[in-house]
Amino acid sequence: AAMAAVREVEIDPEGTFKYILVRLQRPGGEEQRDIVRGTKAAEFHNHIFEKVNPEMEKLGYECKCLGGGKIDHNSKDKKIRVFGLSTGYGKADHSVTVEILKKVYTDYEITWSDDKK
18 known member of a binding site? yes
Active site residue 45: yes
Contact 112, 68 (CB under 8 A): no
Contacts of 97 (CB under 8 A, 6+ apart): 19, 21, 36, 69, 82, 112
Burial code of 93-111, b = ≥16 C-beta within 10 A, e = fewer?
ebebbbebbeeebeebebe
From the candidates 45, 47, 73, 94, give the one annotated as an active-site residue.
Answer: 45
Measure the CA dihedral 12/14/19/21, to 10°.
70
Active-site residue set: 45
Binding-site positions for substrate read 18
